[in-house]
Every structure is written in C-alpha cells, then in structure tokens.
C-alpha cells in the first residue's frame, strides 16, 4: 500500500533565497536553485489560484524507483503536489528504463500522448530522465521529433532537477543536460518515500560487470559505493521516521565496498568502525558487504533487512553465514541466474557455471534450509540452442526457485550480444518463455503449497485495492500473503466506518505491523490464510 507522500530531509530554503549567486558547492547549489524555483512556482500558483501538481512516472528497476523518490523530494520541496492525474498535471516527468527495447517503445508511444496534452495546455512542463536518456540516439530523436519536451536529463545528475527546472523556467528553450560519467555522489537532498513502512536504500550505484547483453554499465556507469556512514545514517533516519523494512539496493550488492579497497579509500569504509563493535574494521576490509549487513542488522528499530541483487559469482559464504546468524536479515536471496547452460553463461560473461550456481544454492540451503531463493532468467540469448534452453529448465526444476522474473532476450545496441551471430527468431523466444514460465509456475505453486498449515510472520502492507476487507503483506521471503481483516477506514466526509468480513480478524492493524498468519491455501503467486495474533 502506498501512503501519503511524506518529505524527508526537508531543507530550510529561506536562507538561500536571498543569495545573489548560486554557490559552487553541492548540495548548497541545489538548495539555492530549489529556493529560486520555489519563488517562481509561488508566482505561478498565485496566478492560477491553486497549488501546481506533478505526475511522476517511474519505469524499470528499484534503482529508478529510488531516483524518482529523490526527484519527487526536490519537486515537493519546491512546492509541487504529487498527482496521479497525468492529463491535468502541471508537470509530467518520466523516469525511463532501457534494459529492454519494449520499455523504449512505450516511452515513444507516451510521448505522442503528451504532445496531445501539451497542445491543449501549452504551459504544462514535460521532463524526461533516466537510463533511456543516456543513449545518444534517444536524445537526438527527442531533439528532432519531440520538440515540445522541456527538460531532458540522465542518470548521473538527477540531483540537479531544481537547477534544470530553473533554467527552463527562466530560459525558454528545451534544457538538455546529459553527463557521460558520474561526477560524485551528492547526499543530503530531500526525498519522498513511496511507502510508509518500507524503503530502499542505495548502497552503491552503477555496475562493472559488462554482461554481454546488458546496457546498465553504459547508462549507469562504473560501480561506486556509498560510504558506510552515509548508508547507516539513512537507515537510522528511515527507522526513526517509522520505517520497519529496509532493502539495500545495488546492481551487484556483493561487491559493495570493493571499489574503496581498490582505490585505497579505506577510510570511507572504516569511519564508523568504532560504532559497530570490536573486530569490525577487519571484517569490513575482508568482506565489506557482509560487514555492512551486520551493521544494518544492529540499527535499533529495524525489523527487516532485504538486499538485492546478488551476483552468483560474487556472493560469498560469509554473506550467507551472516544472514543465517542475523536477527533482522531476511532469509531471502535474489540471485540472478540468467541461464542454466554453462556455454551460454560464458557467452553472457557471467563468470560462473551451472555447477557453481548449483553449489551456491547448496551452500545457502546448508546454512538456511528454509531460505527463499528468487532469480532473473533470460531466454533466447544469441546462439541459445534447444539443448541450452533445456538445461535452463532442468536447473529451474532442480533448484526450486520461489519465483523468477523471466525475460525474452532484447537486443540492446552498443552491447556485444547485439553484434553476435545466431540471433534467435522471435517465435522461438516466445515459445521458450512460455515453456519456462510453465515450469517456474509449477515450482512456485508446489513451494507455496508446502506453506499450507504453517504459521508465518507477515509484514502487513495494507488493504487490497478492490476488496478493502482483504489485507496483504509479505513474508520474510517476500511472498505475498492475503487474509481477511476487519478495520476502520475514513470516508470522504471524514466519518469513520468499520469494514467487516465474516471470518476477518478484528484485532487492530496498521501497515508495517508484523502479524502471524496461518496459511490455509496456496496459489502460484500468493498464499491465503487467517490472522492468529
């Protein structure tokens, strides 16, 4: 359930309003532009006699979702109100994804729609940002065919949203600002978190792996870890604000901190060692990610800690042991398999074999027999034969993943795989995807059925949209659970009414609360049960 947007790290902008020039240093420079934009937006508000609204669409992975929280934080600080009504919004911003081609095509489709909106309301603002904008041909197309777009920026400079908006409001022309590399991580910006009880926390940006099919390293740059101090600070402040569940985010979380060690910047890892106990310094040097997990586990008030994505090549036994010994570290591993064929894994530049992946799963199960293991798989990579594909299906059956994101290989220009011979025909790719989904769905149902009769800890998320008496939540393994719940809601006139369900629990409930649910039935994507506490 999404809550009312709440602004974190609110900045006192008043003192920046009177400055004559923008400071050089970040984040002060951005505070200055936020103050300037607030002034301009205030004037437009006065003229219109109402607050201005922004429709903020995010496509793609959790990194993009996290970036959009920051963009929304900046826009909220400036004075925009978030809206779900794109057709009447004063500003529309799309945070785009380019991992697969169909995401790109959808954006072009929506730009056509935005053009029709802008013809009716020429003063609306349109901004495009994110991974797709890091591709030169995309920006060229926007410049040529979509002249009505106001602001275009990429993945490295989202923290400059206010500065770019100011340029557009005071300039008049389309503002384009695309960087080809990261020029430093800017902390201490406002953010609006999407959910009232769970939050993602970036631990690193970018990726060094260059899997041959993947565009991420080209559009998000090389790996850059955040300092452990900044990460812990963000976790502490999220917990203080009532957040119970933290997901540590990175393209390859297992390589967290290794860039500091490579670049002789150990101080960024070691600066908080005294706060986390004896021996921590050595642990950080040896296994930065495992040590980070331990430190986050110890933050008072944190209830659940997830992390994603894990790379099978880099995940260590120490990380698994740490999860097994942790208190709040959830027994859930999202380890991206991609293919069950060692030959294809090699062509993908993944750095492990089928056998090594199976050995990793064995190690996870040795320490944590009940661990939930989820994955990502691509079908139809260039040169994938029926035999290679059969190996993927057999591995899926052997492992028994709780769930899997399955993708059809999508050719991304500029990546090595796009130039490979033996591209697989579309009909073959589609047939393989369907077959793999059937195999995985059977597995998921089978695993979910084993939960029937068990009582599981669930973090309540909120009522489902269609049936308010049905609540949903997630297990520690991230499985979706539904149950009946009587609860009180506020209607539009602010009067309160209780929604009753025959067999629903009448115990009080709020999003983020941990409840015990006895599982009674299972489906492929979810399980259902009764609340018992």
Residue 52 near residue 91, CB atoms below 8 Å = yes
The region of 152-160, 213-221, 262-270, 489-497 touching ligand SAM under the rule CB under 6 A is 213-221
409 lies in the site for ligand SAM, by CB under 6 A: yes
Residue 96 near residue 111, CB atoms below 8 Å = no
Pairing of strands 403-408, 372-379: parallel
Bridge partners (DSSP) listed for residue 459: 474, 514
Q: Which listed option, ligand SAM, ligand SF4, none, makes contact with residue 412 (CB within 5 to 8 Å by class)? A: ligand SAM
Per residue, the 3-state secondary structure of 402-446, as one string, reads CEEEEEECCCCCCCHHHHCCCCCCHHHHHHHHHHHHHHHHHHHHH
| One residue of 75, 99, 138, 460 binding ligand SAM per CB under 6 A | 99
Show contacts with ligand SF4 in window 217-246 (CB under 6 A). 217
185 lies in the site for ligand SAM, by CB under 6 A: no
207 lies in the site for ligand SF4, by CB under 6 A: yes
314 lies in the site for ligand SAM, by CB under 6 A: no
344 lies in the site for ligand SAM, by CB under 6 A: no
In this structure, the dihedral spanned by the alpha carbons of residues 10, 13, 14 and 15, taken in order and rounded to 10 degrees, is 120
Q: Which is nearer to ligand SAM, 132 or 283 (CB)?
A: 132
The two most distant CA atoms of the chain are separated, in Å, by 69
Q: How far is the CB of 423 from ligand SAM (least distance, A)?
A: 12
71 lies in the site for ligand SF4, by CB under 6 A: no
Quote the Cα angle for 435-99-465, to 5°: 75
Quote the Cα angle for 461-369-517, to 5°: 30
Q: How far is the CB of 401 from ligand SAM (least distance, A)?
A: 13
CB atoms within 10 A of CB 402: 22
Q: Which is nearer to ligand SAM, 230 or 309 (CB)?
A: 309
412 lies in the site for ligand SAM, by CB under 6 A: yes
Q: Which listed option, ligand SF4, ligand SAM, none, makes contact with residue 217 (CB within 5 to 8 Å by class)? A: ligand SF4
The region of 217-225, 279-287, 407-415, 477-485 touching ligand SAM under the rule CB under 6 A is 407-415
309 lies in the site for ligand SAM, by CB under 6 A: yes
CB atoms within 10 A of CB 330: 22
Q: How far is the CB of 178 from ligand SAM (least distance, A)?
A: 20
Residue 375 near residue 358, CB atoms below 8 Å = no
* Structure tokens given for 235: 């976790």
Q: Which listed option, ligand SF4, ligand SAM, none, makes contact with residue 100 (CB within 5 to 8 Å by class)? A: ligand SAM
216 lies in the site for ligand SAM, by CB under 6 A: yes
| One residue of 34, 192, 211, 433 binding ligand SF4 per CB under 6 A | 211
* Structure tokens given for 146: 């979509």
505 lies in the site for ligand SAM, by CB under 6 A: no
Q: Which is nearer to ligand SF4, 210 or 525 (CB)?
A: 210
* Structure tokens given for 288: 């930065």
3 lies in the site for ligand SF4, by CB under 6 A: no
Letters for 50-89 (x = contact with ligand SAM by CB under 6 A, - = none) are -----------x----------------------------
Bridge partners (DSSP) listed for residue 505: 485
Number of residues that bind ligand SF4 (CB under 6 A): 10
Q: Which is nearer to ligand SF4, 214 or 436 (CB)?
A: 214
| One residue of 216, 248, 249, 276 binding ligand SF4 per CB under 6 A | 216
Q: Which is nearer to ligand SF4, 189 or 211 (CB)?
A: 211
Q: Which listed option, ligand SAM, ligand SF4, none, makes contact with residue 474 (CB within 5 to 8 Å by class)? A: none
| One residue of 64, 83, 251, 505 binding ligand SAM per CB under 6 A | 251
What's the gap between Cα 407 and its chain centre? 18
Show contacts with ligand SAM in window 383-402 (CB under 6 A). none
Per DSSP, the three-state class of 489 is strand
Quote the Cα angle for 64-67-68, to 5°: 90
The region of 8-16, 208-216, 485-493, 512-520 touching ligand SF4 under the rule CB under 6 A is 208-216
What's the gap between Cα 17 and its chain centre? 34
| One residue of 100, 244, 304, 476 binding ligand SAM per CB under 6 A | 100
DSSP string, 234-285: HHHHHHHTT--EEEEE-TTGGGTTHHHHHTT-HHHHHTTHHHH-TTHHHHHH
Cα 449 to Cα 436: distance, rounded to the nearest angstrom: 20
Quote the Cα angle for 307-312-315, to 5°: 60
How far, CA to CA in Å, does 399 sit from each of 150, 183, 239, 432? 49, 41, 35, 19
Quote the Cα angle for 417-421-424, to 5°: 80
Q: Which is nearer to ligand SF4, 251 or 322 (CB)?
A: 251
Number of residues that bind ligand SAM (CB under 6 A): 18
Q: Which is nearer to ligand SF4, 76 or 202 (CB)?
A: 202
Burial class (CB within 10 angstroms; exposed 0-12, middle 13-18, buried 19+) of 27: middle
Q: Contact residues for ligand SF4 (CB under 6 A)?
A: 207, 209-211, 214, 216-217, 251-252, 311
Q: Contact residues for ligand SAM (CB under 6 A)?
A: 61, 99-100, 213-214, 216, 251-252, 309, 311, 336, 338, 376, 378, 407, 409-410, 412
């Amino acid at each position: 359930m999404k809550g009312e947007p709440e602004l974190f790290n609110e900045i006192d902008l008043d003192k920046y309003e009177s400055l004559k020039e923008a400071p050089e240093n970040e984040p002060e420079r951005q505070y200055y532009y936020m103050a300037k934009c607030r002034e301009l937006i205030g004037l437009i508000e006065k003229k219109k006699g109402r607050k201005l609204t922004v429709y903020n669409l995010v496509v793609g992975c959790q990194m993009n979702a996290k970036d959009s929280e920051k963009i929304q934080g900046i826009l909220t600080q400036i004075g925009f109100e978030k809206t779900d009504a794109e057709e009447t919004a004063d500003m529309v911003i799309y945070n785009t994804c380019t991992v697969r081609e169909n995401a790109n095509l959808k954006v072009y489709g929506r730009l056509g729609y935005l053009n029709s909106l802008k013809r009716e309301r020429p003063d609306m603002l349109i901004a495009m940002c994110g991974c797709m904008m890091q591709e030169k041909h995309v920006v060229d197309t926007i410049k040529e065919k979509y002249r009505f777009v106001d602001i275009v920026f990429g993945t490295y400079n989202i923290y400059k949203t206010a500065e770019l908006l100011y340029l557009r409001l005071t300039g008049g022309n389309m503002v384009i600002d695309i960087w080809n590399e990261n020029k430093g991580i800017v902390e201490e910006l406002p953010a609006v978190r999407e959910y009232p009880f769970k939050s993602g926390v970036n631990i690193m940006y970018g990726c060094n792996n260059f899997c041959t099919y993947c565009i991420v390293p080209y559009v998000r740059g090389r790996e850059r870890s955040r300092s452990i101090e900044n990460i812990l600070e963000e976790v502490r402040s999220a917990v203080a604000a009532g957040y119970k569940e933290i997901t540590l985010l990175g393209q390859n979380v297992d390589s967290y901190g290794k860039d500091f060690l490579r670049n002789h910047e150990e101080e960024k890892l070691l600066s908080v060692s005294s706060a986390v106990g004896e021996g921590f310094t050595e642990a950080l040097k040896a296994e930065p990610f495992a040590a980070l997990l331990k430190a986050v586990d110890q933050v008072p008030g944190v209830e659940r800690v997830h992390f994603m994505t894990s790379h099978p090549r880099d995940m260590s036994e120490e990380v698994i042991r740490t999860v097994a010994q942790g208190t709040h570290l959830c027994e859930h591993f999202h380890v991206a398999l991609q293919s069950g064929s060692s030959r294809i894994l090699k062509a993908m530049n993944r750095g492990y074999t089928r056998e090594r992946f199976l050995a990793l799963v064995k190690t996870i199960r040795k320490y944590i027999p009940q661990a939930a293991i989820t994955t990502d798989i691509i079908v139809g990579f260039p040169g994938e034969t029926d035999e290679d594909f059969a190996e993927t299906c057999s591995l899926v059956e052997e492992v028994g993943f709780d769930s899997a994101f399955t993708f059809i290989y999508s050719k991304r220009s500029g990546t090595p795989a796009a130039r490979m011979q033996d591209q697989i025909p579309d009909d073959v790719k589609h047939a393989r995807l369907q077959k793999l989904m059937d195999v995985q769905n059977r597995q998921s149902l089978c695993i979910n059925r084993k939960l029937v009769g068990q009582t599981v800890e669930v973090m309540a998320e909120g009522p489902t949209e269609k049936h308010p008496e049905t609540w949903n939540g997630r297990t520690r393994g991230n499985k979706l659970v539904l149950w009946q719940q009587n609860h009180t809601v506020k209607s539009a006139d602010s009067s309160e009414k209780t929604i009753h369900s025959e067999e629903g629990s009448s115990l009080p409930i709020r999003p983020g609360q941990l409840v015990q649910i006895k599982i009674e039935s299972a489906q492929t994507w979810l399980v259902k049960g009764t609340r018992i506490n």
